[in-house]
């Protein structure tokens, strides 16, 4: 397929341009009919351009389906009374949930048919499922629009009639441990006008008389617009944890799980810039905190000290320069701590067996199958278990689940994702490169490709994120095999602003240091070329959400570096969004990007905000995706970027926008529609890299 001459000049951006609104701010008026007209016109342009590639997309989609096991049964998890699991049929988008009594595996019962609940919905997302302590009642939340506002449902298991309890709440749920024959307490969050979870409520559910459910009772309300509330429960089931957090500050309050109406006790008071997380063993609280140093330290506190403002927390694992402590999970016998090596950009799990004096009887690391890889502690509901479940995967190893006996060290494979087709994981190879950024910092770059092509410069897809401290640890993708089999190398730039090298890596890529993220991404592109991995003329970039900001900024600064880019629900209108505190997320993001009310912050954001730096130049081919119900990145951000770049485009490469009119930030809710969307993006990427079949040229 060749670029159509004048495609951008004749696009909806030309037809709908308003001289009195050159920044396209009118697109922000959702109710205006011309907004829908413009988006539909852009979707039509997108479809017409893509039509010759549709056969390739269909081939990719069918090949993707042929590679995976479509009928999926999850691992069974035994709770106190019942064992639970889900099954998804080969032709189904959504699962069915089953259970059987722990000692009667043949007595299986279907207790929730998600397929049926989603059947009449154009969008369906289950936010959370929560079982009552006796495992006889199920509460869950649903979003049927994509705007992340949820409805609360309740049913008696297995066959009770679903009952709608509340609308317009947050997704998360948590049962207290106060259940009697009369009922139990369920806790949930509610939003303010900017969709910030600003309050936690408790709801007494009288199981014998559901028609008499009282109104919810407010537990706590957070007035600071930069802070979000969350609710959880310790694995010991003794405490409810209420955290109020901004991007860089945490406050922790606790409630006895058996008495959720009790007075809140503050375990950690709010201190600007201090983040904490809490877990519990009988008699002891554990706290990860970055007050001692930016890489976090693990402390403990005797439970009897709760309520004392001068409570003497004692160090268990001191702050270290070479590793960041990322998480702690408490069990009856001790702790599992997640540590991230700054040098290796690798997470390891550390097992610590403790005596009553908090002295370590055993302190060792759980072995990794390879590096780099991802090793995660899966949900382990039993506090006293000596067997934990691990999930392991890498760029070349599909996800596998193991049971690890902590006493004997024996590992038992429970499940491995099956991969079918001509290209097997064993035929892939992963490399770790190190790019030198503008300031001399070494930036890790991961690359996966076919082993038989590893000694030649390949067309490459370079992916990046780099925000909020999120780490792009190695992950396996069956859909990615469609690109790899056709000779594409897939690379990940682990830029600053992410968390791949620990907390310092995050801090060096946010606020006043955000420029590092962009320099790192372009340096990653250069090392791929200098190392002989990538063909310099055939490198495409890809970023989603805040990764779209990363890629969008780099496109403005160095459009010749890439032959194409995919921007998926991209955060592009950074300055205008951050200047509008009425939008969802804005105030909570001040500690990530800064508050532009300060002139120096406004100028800093203006210098990189993609929409504010579009210039008359030759842009590569762009595939831009937005979602109509997206509350995290409003639909108008990708739409305005599309319009402005179409006007500025000095070349003939297509600038394309597709807005999904039935989805939110996460895209399509059904797995088959999501896979079709991926196939279309991959067809565009293959076209841009010169790998589309000649029949579609």
- Whether residue 653 lies inside any domain: the answer is yes
How high is the pLDDT of residue 668? 76
Same domain flag for 107 and 57: no
- CA distance linking residue 651 with residue 7, whole number of Å: 10
Same domain flag for 227 and 100: no
How high is the pLDDT of residue 7? 56
- What is the tally of structural domains in the chain? 3
How high is the pLDDT of residue 309? 75
- CA distance linking residue 4 with residue 464, whole number of Å: 29
Same domain flag for 94 and 132: no
Range of the domain at 518: 38-63+423-689
Structure confidence by residue, pLDDT tens digits, 528-572: 999 999 999 999 999 999 999 999 999 999 999 999 999 999 999
- For the entire predicted model, the pTM comes to 0.93
Burial of 339-378, coded b for 16+ CB within 10 Å and e otherwise, reads bbebebbbbbbbbbbbeeebeeeeeeebebeeebbbbbbe
Is-contact 378 389, C-beta < 8 A? Answer: yes
Angle at 57 between CA 52 and CA 62, to 5 degrees: 140
The sign of the CA dihedral 678, 680, 681, 687 is positive
How high is the pLDDT of residue 663? 87
For 255, residues 6+ apart whose C-beta sits below 8 A from its C-beta are 176, 219, 239, 240, 242, 262, 264, 265
Q: Which of 247, 274, 301 is the last residue of a domain?
A: 274
- CA distance linking residue 341 with residue 320, whole number of Å: 10
Burial of 223 (0-12, 13-18, 19+ CB in 10 A): exposed
Same domain flag for 588 and 682: yes
Same domain flag for 201 and 144: yes
- CA distance linking residue 478 with residue 264, whole number of Å: 47
- CA distance linking residue 243 with residue 233, whole number of Å: 11
- Whether residue 502 lies inside any domain: the answer is yes
73: enclosing H helix or E strand:
strand 72-73
- Whether residue 322 lies inside any domain: the answer is no
Same domain flag for 193 and 101: no
- Whether residue 299 lies inside any domain: the answer is no
Q: Which of 274, 290, 320 is the last residue of a domain?
A: 274
Residue 1 reports pLDDT greater than 70 = no
- Whether residue 400 lies inside any domain: the answer is no
Same domain flag for 536 and 596: yes
Same domain flag for 110 and 133: no
- Whether residue 465 lies inside any domain: the answer is yes
| 43-51 average pLDDT score | 97
How high is the pLDDT of residue 2? 44
- Whether residue 388 lies inside any domain: the answer is no
Give the three-class secondary structure for 550.
Answer: helix
- CA distance linking residue 79 with residue 235, whole number of Å: 12
Q: Give the CATH number of the domain where residue 44 resides.
A: 3.40.50.1820
Structure confidence by residue, pLDDT tens digits, 265-309: 999 999 999 999 999 999 999 999 999 999 999 999 999 999 777
From the list 502, 471, 504, the residue with the least C-alpha distance to 340 is 502
Same domain flag for 90 and 235: no
Structure confidence by residue, pLDDT tens digits, 204-218: 999 988 888 999 999
From the list 242, 178, 234, 237, the residue with the least C-alpha distance to 207 is 178
Is-contact 360 354, C-beta < 8 A? Answer: yes
Q: Give the CATH number of the domain where residue 194 resides.
A: 2.130.10.120
Is-contact 467 549, C-beta < 8 A? Answer: yes
Please give the share of the chain, as a percent, with pLDDT higher than 90.
91
- Whether residue 335 lies inside any domain: the answer is no
């Amino acid at each position: 397929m060749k670029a159509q001459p004048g495609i951008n000049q004749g696009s909806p951006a030309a037809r709908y341009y308003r001289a009195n609104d050159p920044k396209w701010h009118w697109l922000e008026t959702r109710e205006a009919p011309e907004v829908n007209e413009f988006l539909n016109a852009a979707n039509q342009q997108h479809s017409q351009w893509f039509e010759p590639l549709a056969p390739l997309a269909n081939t990719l989609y069918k090949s993707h389906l042929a590679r995976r096991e479509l009928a999926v049964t999850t691992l069974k998890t035994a709770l106190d009374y019942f064992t639970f699991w889900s099954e998804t049929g080969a032709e189904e988008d959504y699962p069915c949930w089953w259970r059987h009594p722990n000692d009667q595996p043949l007595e299986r019962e279907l207790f929730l048919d998600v397929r049926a609940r989603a059947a009449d919905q154009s969008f369906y997302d289950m936010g959370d499922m929560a079982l009552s302590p006796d495992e006889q009642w199920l509460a869950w939340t649903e979003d049927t629009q994509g705007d992340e506002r949820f409805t609360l449902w309740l049913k008696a298991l297995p066959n009770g009639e679903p009952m709608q309890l509340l609308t317009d709440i947050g997704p998360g749920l948590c049962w207290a441990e106060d259940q009697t024959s009369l009922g139990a307490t369920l806790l949930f969050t509610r939003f303010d006008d900017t969709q910030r979870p600003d309050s936690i409520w408790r709801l007494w559910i009288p199981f014998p008389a559901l028609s008499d459910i009282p109104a919810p009772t407010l537990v706590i309300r957070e007035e600071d617009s930069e802070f979000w509330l969350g609710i959880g429960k310790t694995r010991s089931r003794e405490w409810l944890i209420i955290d109020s957090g901004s991007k860089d500050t945490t406050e922790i309050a606790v409630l006895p799980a058996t008495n959720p109406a009790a007075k809140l006790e503050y375990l950690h008071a709010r201190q600007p810039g201090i983040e904490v997380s809490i877990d519990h063993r009988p008699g002891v609280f554990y706290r990860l905190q970055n007050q001692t140093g930016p890489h976090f330290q693990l402390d403990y506190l005797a439970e009897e000290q709760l309520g004392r403002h001068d409570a003497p927390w004692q160090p268990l694992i001191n702050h270290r320069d070479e590793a960041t402590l990322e998480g702690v999970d408490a069990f009856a016998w001790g702790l599992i701590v997640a540590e991230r090596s700054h040098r290796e950009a690798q997470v390891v799990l550390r097992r610590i067996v403790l005596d009553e004096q908090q002295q370590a009887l055993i302190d060792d690391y759980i072995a990794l199958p390879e590096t780099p890889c991802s090793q995660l502690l899966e949900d382990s509901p039993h506090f006293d278990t000596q067997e934990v479940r691990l999930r392991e995967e890498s760029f070349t190893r599909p996800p596998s689940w193991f049971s690890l006996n902590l006493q004997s060290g024996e590992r038992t494979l429970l499940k491995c994702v099956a991969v079918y087709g001509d290209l097997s994981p064993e035929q892939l190879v992963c490399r770790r490169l190190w790019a030198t950024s503008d300031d001399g910092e070494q930036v890790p770059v991961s690359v996966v490709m076919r082993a038989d092509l590893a000694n030649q410069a390949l067309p490459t897809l370079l992916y990046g994120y780099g925000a909020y401290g999120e780490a792009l640890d190695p992950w396996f993708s069956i859909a990615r095999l469609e690109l790899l089999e056709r000779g594409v190398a897939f690379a990940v730039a682990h830029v600053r602003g992410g968390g791949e090298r620990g907390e310092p890596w995050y801090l060096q890529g946010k606020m006043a240091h955000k420029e590092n993220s962009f320099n790192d991404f372009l340096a990653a592109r250069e090392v791929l070329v200098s190392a002989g991995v990538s063909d310099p003329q055939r490198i495409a970039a890809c970023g989603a959400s805040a990764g779209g900001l990363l890629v969008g900024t780099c496109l403005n600064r160095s459009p010749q570096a890439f032959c194409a880019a995919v921007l998926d629900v991209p955060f592009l209108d950074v300055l205008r969004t951050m200047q509008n505190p009425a939008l969802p997320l804005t105030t909570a993001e001040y500690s990530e990007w800064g508050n532009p009310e300060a002139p120096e912050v406004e100028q800093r954001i203006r210098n990189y905000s993609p929409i504010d730096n579009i210039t008359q130049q030759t842009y590569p081919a762009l595939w831009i995706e937005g979602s109509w119900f997206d509350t995290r990145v409003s639909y108008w951000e990708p739409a305005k970027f599309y319009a402005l770049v179409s006007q500025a485009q000095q070349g003939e490469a297509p600038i394309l926008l597709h807005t999904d009119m039935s989805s939110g930030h996460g895209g399509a809710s059904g797995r088959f529609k999501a896979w079709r969307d991926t196939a279309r993006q991959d067809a565009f990427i293959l076209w841009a890299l010169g790998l589309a079949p000649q029949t579609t040229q």
